[in-house]
């Protein structure tokens, strides 16, 4: 049985992370030029344009869903992927570009990636712990249903592997 402090922590992490993503996603989805303007910059980083659309919508709608705790693990996974790209493909190279000789490259890098790195870690934690009992996922029993489907699929696979091959 889960403890309430874990569920409370999941609630705080979900709501705080979601509230950070919502305005960033809103600016990408509803700002000047919409998601097309955001996606148009993706090729300069070696990223396909369609992933810019995915990132924009994931930040806005995924942020809202995180606050509600709806499909928490899926939302957090998509947002973690978005933040991994932001950290390692976009901001880290920029942070390392202007490092003065003799300066600490580690500190320069950390200053350049601190926010998306923190969000990446928060999203990864939510993928692992889920939304908790204080979420729409718990109300709709989404994690239970997903685990039940996985167990049934595993059992069917094991039965199929045990049966003799038919010719």
| One-character DSSP codes across 6-72 | HHHHHHHHHHHHHHHHHHHHHHHHHSTTHHHHHHTTGGGGT--HHHHHHHHHHHHHHHHHHHHTSSH
For 83-129, what is each residue's pLDDT tens digit? 999 999 888 887 777 777 777 878 878 888 899 999 999 999 999 99
Q: What percent of the chain has pLDDT over 90?
A: 46
**How many CB atoms lie under 10 A from the CB of residue 31?**
13
- Higher pLDDT: 69 or 4? It is 69
- Residue 164: per-residue pLDDT: 66
For 38-61, what is each residue's pLDDT tens digit? 899 888 888 889 899 999 999 999
pLDDT band at 26; cut points 50, 70, 90: very high
pLDDT higher than threshold 60 for residue 1: no
108-137 b/e (C-beta count within 10 Å ≥ 16 → b): bbeebbeebbebbebbbbbbebbbbbbbeb
Q: How far apart are CA 17 and CA 123, in angstroms?
A: 8
Sketch the domain layout of the chain as residue ranges.
4-162
> What global pTM score does this model have?
0.81
Query: Which residues, in sequence order, are CB contacts of 119 under 8 Å at separation 6+?
Result: 17, 20, 21, 79, 83
Q: How far apart are CA 89 and CA 95, in angstroms?
A: 11
- Residue 167: per-residue pLDDT: 47
Quote the mean pLDDT of the chain: 88
Average pLDDT over residues 133-150: 85
């Amino acid at each position: 049985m889960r403890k309430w402090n874990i569920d409370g922590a999941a609630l705080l992490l979900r709501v705080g992370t979601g509230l950070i993503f919502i305005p960033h996603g809103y600016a990408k989805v509803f700002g000047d030029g919409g998601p097309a303007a955001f996606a148009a910059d993706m090729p300069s980083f070696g990223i396909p344009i369609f992933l810019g659309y995915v990132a924009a919508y994931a930040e806005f709608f995924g942020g809202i869903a995180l606050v509600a705790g709806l499909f928490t693990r899926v939302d957090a996974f998509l947002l973690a992927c978005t933040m991994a790209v932001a950290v390692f493909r976009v901001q880290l190279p920029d942070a390392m570009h202007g490092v003065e000789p003799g300066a600490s490259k580690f500190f320069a890098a950390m200053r350049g990636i601190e926010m998306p790195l923190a969000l990446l870690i928060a999203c990864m934690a939510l993928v692992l712990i889920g939304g908790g009992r204080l979420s729409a996922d718990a109300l709709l029993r989404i994690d239970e249903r997903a685990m039940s489907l996985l167990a049934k699929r595993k059992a069917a696979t094991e039965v199929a592997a045990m049966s003799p091959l038919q010719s």
